[in-house]
């Protein structure tokens, strides 16, 4: 099984590498790589883990991920259409170590500094999506011009920071495999009863040792991490047009008690599940 770290398969003479992920090319294991990544969701929806942040992605979402920031985008298997994400990979030194230190690019420092923790782009998304989706087919000179325009649009956009400082570390070897297995198991089984014993066995640890290990590496308990995934799934179901009741959605998201679901949902989202459904 391929685990952290992940090597982007770009040719050596390519400074900007664009890849469309869908079907069998969709890589749904927690991973990290040395390149900065800009990703646009063209179709579909699902759940992401970026650093220590768990959330949902949907069509038109735009994300920026810094170097070696652990992440995974997992498709929603229940979504009726294919999920497709186009991603651009590059490094700050793609055009030489001093290129982005030129006075003309001083404002791009915000892009690179903010990317360390990863963020979601909240404005200028239509223009960014259009430029990025066409980038791969352009001649190299036009790619370069479009790349600078994408950086400029993102730099000027409103953003939502995703990760936290405690997560800035590089996983490798056995630790990378262990974290990948934990995240993968959680995202595939959140709708079931998940015990600390089950997930500790996957990590080959005792429950107490696992709790300490996970908290040190993600800045949250495993129980809260699992709740994040479950609430995220509930939000997707509440936002869809369907005949599911709040009770059914709570059970499909891994909660076996409606009162507990309502309490956790309001604590995280600030509104009740019913209010969230009306709002969306």
Taking only the tens place, the pLDDT of each residue in 150-166 is: 999 999 999 999 887 55
The pLDDT of residue 1 is above 50: no
pTM of the model: 0.75
Ramachandran class of 219: left when φ > 0, alpha when ψ lies in -120 to 50, beta otherwise: left
The pLDDT of residue 168 is above 60: no
What pLDDT was estimated at residue 2?
Answer: 36
Q: What is the pLDDT of residues 251-274, one digit of tens each?
A: 999 999 999 999 999 998 899 999
| Mean of pLDDT values over 81-99 | 89
Domain boundaries along the sequence of the chain: 17-165, 190-279
At the top level of CATH, which class does the domain 190-279 belong to?
mainly alpha
Residue with tokens 């782009």: 121
DSSP SS3 for 146: helix
What pLDDT was estimated at residue 28?
Answer: 78
36-43 vs 62-65, strand pairing mode:
antiparallel
Q: Where are the beta strands (DSSP E) in the chain?
A: 17-21, 36-43, 46-50, 53-57, 62-65, 71-75, 84-90, 119-121, 159-161
Q: What is the CATH number of domain 17-165?
A: 2.60.120.280
**Is the separation of the CB atoms in 119 and 63 below 8 Å?**
yes
The pLDDT of residue 173 is above 90: no
Q: How far apart are CA 2 and CA 163, in angstroms?
A: 24
Report which of 68, 63, 73 is spatially closest to residue 35, judged by C-alpha positions: 68
The pLDDT of residue 195 is above 80: yes
Structure token digits, residue 9: 């398969």
Structure token digits, residue 184: 């993968």
């Amino acid at each position: 099984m391929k685990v952290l770290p992940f090597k982007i398969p770009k040719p050596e003479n390519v400074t900007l590498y664009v890849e469309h992920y869908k079907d069998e090319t969709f890589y749904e294991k927690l991973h990290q790589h040395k390149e900065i990544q800009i990703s646009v969701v063209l179709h579909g929806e699902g759940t992401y883990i970026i650093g220590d942040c768990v959330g949902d992605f949907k069509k038109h979402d735009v994300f920026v991920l810094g170097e070696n920031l652990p992440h995974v985008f997992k498709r929603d298997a229940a979504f009726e259409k294919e999920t497709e994400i186009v991603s651009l990979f590059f490094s700050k030194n793609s055009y030489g170590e001093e290129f982005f230190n030129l006075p003309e690019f001083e404002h791009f420092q915000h892009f690179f500094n903010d990317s360390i923790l990863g963020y979601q782009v909240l404005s200028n998304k239509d223009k960014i999506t259009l430029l990025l989706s066409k980038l791969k087919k352009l001649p190299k000179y036009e790619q370069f011009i479009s790349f600078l325009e994408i950086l400029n649009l993102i730099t000027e956009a409103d953003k939502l920071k995703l990760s936290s400082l405690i997560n800035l570390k590089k996983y490798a070897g056995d630790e990378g495999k262990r974290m990948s297995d934990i995240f993968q198991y959680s995202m595939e089984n959140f709708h079931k009863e998940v015990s600390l014993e089950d997930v500790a066995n996957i990590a080959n640890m005792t429950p107490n040792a696992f709790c300490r290990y996970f908290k040190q590496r993600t800045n949250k308990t495993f129980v809260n991490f699992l709740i994040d995934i479950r609430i995220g799934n509930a939000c997707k179901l509440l936002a869809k047009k369907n005949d599911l009741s709040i009770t059914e959605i709570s059970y499909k998201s891994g909660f076996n008690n409606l009162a507990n679901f309502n309490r956790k949902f309001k604590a995280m989202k600030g509104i009740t599940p019913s209010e969230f459904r009306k709002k969306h």
